[in-house]
Structure formats: structure tokens, C-alpha cells
Amino acid sequence: MPPTEHKALLHWVEEVARLAQPDRVHWCDGSEAEQARLCQELVDRGTFTALSADRRPGSFLARSDPRDVARLEGRTFICCEEEADAGPTNNWLAPAEMRERLVRLFAGSMRGRTMYVVPFAMAPAGSPLETWGVELTDSPYVVVNMAIMTRMGKAPLAAMGTDGDFVRCLHSVGAPLPEGAADVPWPCNPGNVYVAHFPESREIWSYGSGYGGNALLGKKCLALRVASVIGRDEGWLAEHMTVVKVTSPAGDVQYMAGAFPSACGKTNLAMLVPTLAGWKAETIGDDICWMRLGPDGRLYALNPEAGFFGVAPGTSQLTNPNALATVRHGTIFTNTALTDDGDVWWEGLTSTPPEHLIDWKGEDWWPGRPGPAAHPNARFTVAAAQCPSMAPEWLSPEGVPISAILFGGRRSTTVPLVHEAFDWEHGVYLGSSLASETTAAAAGDVGVLRRDPFAMLPFCGYNMADYWAHWLSLPARAERPNLPKVFLVNWFRKGAGGRYLWPGFGENIRVIAWVFARCGGRTGEAGERVGGAVRTPIGWAPSPGAIPTDGLELPDEDMEELLRVDVAEWRQEVSSMQEHYRRFGDRLPQQLAGQLAALAERLEQAG
């Protein structure tokens, strides 16, 4: 007997069961017993390896099919009625055509398998932004990950009542199991993947992949692509941002949000361990934030997720000690290497690798063997509550008031260490201009500049130009607007010989301290020199000595280079932005065209 009287939900589950034809239907309750049972089933079928109870208690390692290892942007679609509403940054297909394709694929796709009904909530219970979803999936791997990443089970199902709205999330690995056939540890259909979003009807259909953001439909699919459309319609924001609580030596508290493309330090900022005495940083969220206007005209942000789905390679005691502490137990690792004593390892975890490992493909590996031991996109799934740096406010249904929004990309030249927008409209321009140089872990050539506005390029569920207009509309939506200050940071500027000039990681608190003071916070003894600024053509920059460098082996000439604004380089930036904006045609907000023209004029006046 289904544990709900929600007629629309019951009808949908029955409809999908008739189409996909699973052997059985299981309604998930989100209990610890259910999680333990499913994890053991995954061990029994060879999907999971139980890790050492001494070294990594309550943890498991999964190895995916080598063809199913990451989000597939090329197979991700926004299916709205009008192609122009999807915009030039999204793949589009007409809803009717996509439904026709998917119905053919889903017909019989769950034969031989169990269809799990996974009710879940995004955002803390009782929040004004709480959003319910139900994922139907034939993957127990998805279920155990969703149990960590979302608030899943009986509670959200009860909160939905008999008629609550919910986002329909349908997923199949696309590998029906004929009667009597042996299953494989990681079923998938990598040659036939679709991740389709129907924002107007609030639906997500995913087929063929069992991995990450393709299959955990509460994450990028609902919490960003669909939620960004809901936010546009209802007047709030769904953003690819970290949120951090910063406390100064004087005891002042500010909350900051940060949008960073891949490999630009977003997770490290979320779990920052400050090196300046007296400063404290705590985590609200590491990846996604939802923001709404409060009655006081401020933006209030919350973390809609309940867990972290983090990239393991590069995570170490130096780069992110809080992340390492978080995954000591109760963690699902995917595509890391396995040590001989039943633990996990990945590139960057230690300075030297073990002498022998089982790599992410299940093969023997030793130092010097071609290829990495862990896949570059290897992941850990873990409850956020296990993170030692979590702030109590991360569970606040109302969210926390944001004082500053930081945008940041990986730029070896041009963009200084930090600068501040002149005003809100200029801040939206800075977000729209965000760019990062591709790394070896990204598709394509290394070092190519890729525009990633607001770090939302793969995640905005509608036309990016309309998204910018939504941001620009916020001051008019508030009776007394008191919006955050906006900053652009760049931890990755290089000097002669390709040497990074800024030490980064915990030292980033020195830049945060300047931001903190610019937002009106008292910084105390450690920040007495912080807060001064000079006007430049691109925004407000720290005045000489404004960023504390005591204790750093940072030559004065390096600091000068970190903050230098090269007019010739910025004129090239204007040309690049003109090309960027041309993609959006007449939907580009005129305020942003005006901001770009004003920048060009300031650079001309600067000589």
C-alpha cells in the first residue's frame, strides 16, 4: 500500500510503472535501516566495495562504467516551447519532440529492476523556498546518494500532503534486465544519454547515465536549472554559489556568497581555514544557494542541499582540511583508487602515492603507470552535518543575510587579485563577464578563456540574457533595497615564468578581510589597515597596504603586480566582452551594454 494519498503523485507513479515496466515498486522512507540494506545490496551486486571499518567506517567505494564518469553538457537539454527562451547557451529541443523520444526510450526500460519512489525536499523544512521533488529511478546507487544529498523520505512526503506541488524527476539507467540474465555492477546506456528539463511543466527526464548530476536529479537539474526558472517566476534566485560565514577578531559577522567556475576554489572557500589570527570562517553551503529578498531589502541565502557531492582529486590537508575531516566516515566514494588496507586514495591527497593501488577501473596501479589512479572527476558523497566547519545557521529556514557576493575565475593575466563593483548594476556586469581559463581536467585545449557568466553557464534553465535582467530587477523589487556589495577575485594571477603570485587557500582570508571592511564590518587588531580603496577604470581596488601581508613571504613587487590594472589588456577584455554580448542579440539588457560602453570610456580616459 503506497504511504500517501496524494492523488497526482499516485497517478504519476502508476503511469510511469506502466511505461517502464519495473518488476516491483518500492516507496523509500529515508530510514537508516533502508540505507544500510540498499548499501549491502550494492555490495552484494558488486557496485560497492565496503571500506575498512577501522580506516573509513561506514563508507563505500563505487566504480562506474568507464564510459559514465561525468555530467554530459552536450546531452543536457532545456525543452521550453520557444527556442529563444532557452537562449544561445543551452541545448534546446521542442518539448513534444523530446517527450516522443523519451517515451520510446523509457518503454520497458526498467524491466527486471525495482523502481524506487524517492520523495525529497530541497531547503530546510518550513523555509519560504522549500521545494518538493519526487525522483522515480531504477538505480539503488541514486537512492543512497539522494538520501545523503537531500532531505529524503517520510518527512517530505508527509509535508506534501494530498495535493502539494512537486517537481517530477524521472530517471532510468536505460538497461532493462532480461529474465535470467546476469546484471553488471554499473548498468548504463552511455551511447543514448538524455538529461531533459521541461521548465514550464517543472519536469526532469534523465535516461542512460547513472552518474552524478545526470542521475541525482535534485542537484544541478532541480536545484539550479529548474529552480532558476521557478526563481525567475517567483522573484528569487537559484545560484551556483558557495555561502560562508565570516567572523572578524572584533566579533562582527558577515555572510558572503561566491560564484566560481570549476577548478577555481569554490569548495575551498566554503571550508576556508583562515591563517590570520582571530578570524573564523564557517560553512553554510559549498555548491548551491537560493536567495530571496527579505523585508529589510537584503538578500537572504540558504543551502538547499543536505550533503556534499565533492570532487576528490586535489583535496588534501593543505587545500581543504575540513573536507578531509568530513569524509572520515559515512561516505560514498565514486571512482577513487583503493589502497591495500581498504582505504581510498586520489591524486593530490598525499605528496607521494602508495606503492600499490587498485585504480578507478579496478586494475592494479603503481607509481609510473600511465593514467591516474583516481578519475579526475572522482567524487565523495557525504552528509553536510559531518563537516566540522558547518555554521549552525546552515539549517535556518529563513537563510542568512548576504553582505558580499564574490565572483572569481582562473585568470593568469589581466584580472587583479580583487576589485569591487561601483554599484549593483556594475556588479551584475562583473558577473556577466566572469571567465576562466580551462584546465587539464576540462574538455578542450588548456588555457583557453571560457566565459562562464555567474558560473551558471551549464546550469541556467532559461535565456542567460533574461537571467541577467532578473538580477538587474532586484533593486526595484525591494521597498528599501540593501543589496550586497559585489567583488571580482582572482587567486590565479601569474608572474614571470608562469609562477602563481598569490599563495591562496587559507591566505585568501586576507582578501576576505578587505571585503569584510568594505562591507562595513569592524575587523579588529588584525585588520586595522584593511578597507582603503582607490578608484580604477574597472572598479574599486585595495589601496597600498590595505590587504594585510604580515607573515607572508610576498615581495612588494608581487603585490603590485597582483593589483595592477593594465589598460591595454583591459581594452582587449572589452573587445572580448563585445563578442560575448553579441550572442544574445536584442535580448541583452541595455544596462549591461551601457556598462560595457562606460568601461571602454574609462579605459580611454586612463590613456
Q: Is the CB of residue 508 less than 8 Å from the CB of residue 267?
A: no
CA atoms of 236 and 227, how far apart (whole Å)? 9
Query: What are 60's strand-pairing partners?
Result: 50, 332
Question: Which three cell numbers mark 371?
Answer: 593514467
Query: What are 487's strand-pairing partners?
Result: 406, 420
Residue 264 appears among annotated catalytic residues:
yes
**Could you tell me where the beta strands, DSSP code E, fall in 426-554?**
435-437, 449-451, 485-489, 533-536, 539-542
Terminal Cα distance for the chain, rounded = 76
Q: What order of strands is seen across the sheet that includes strand 344-345?
A: 344-345, 337-339, 357-358, 364-365
Question: Which three cell numbers mark 1?
Answer: 500500500
Q: Which of 221, 264, 289, 387 is catalytic?
A: 264
- Give the containing element (helix H, strand E) for 300: strand 299-302
Using DSSP's 3-state secondary structure scheme, residue 581 falls into helix
Written as one letter, the residue type at 538 is I
CA atoms of 50 and 59, how far apart (whole Å)? 6
Closest CA to 143 of 243, 45, 29: 29
Count each helix (H run) and each strand (E run) in the chain, helices first.
17, 31
**Burial readout 294-310 (b: 16 or more C-beta within 10 A, e: otherwise):** eeeebbbbbbbbbbbbb
DSSP letter string, 21-66: --SEEEE----HHHHHHHHHHHHHTTSEEEPPTTTSTT-EEE---T
Catalytic (active-site) positions: 264
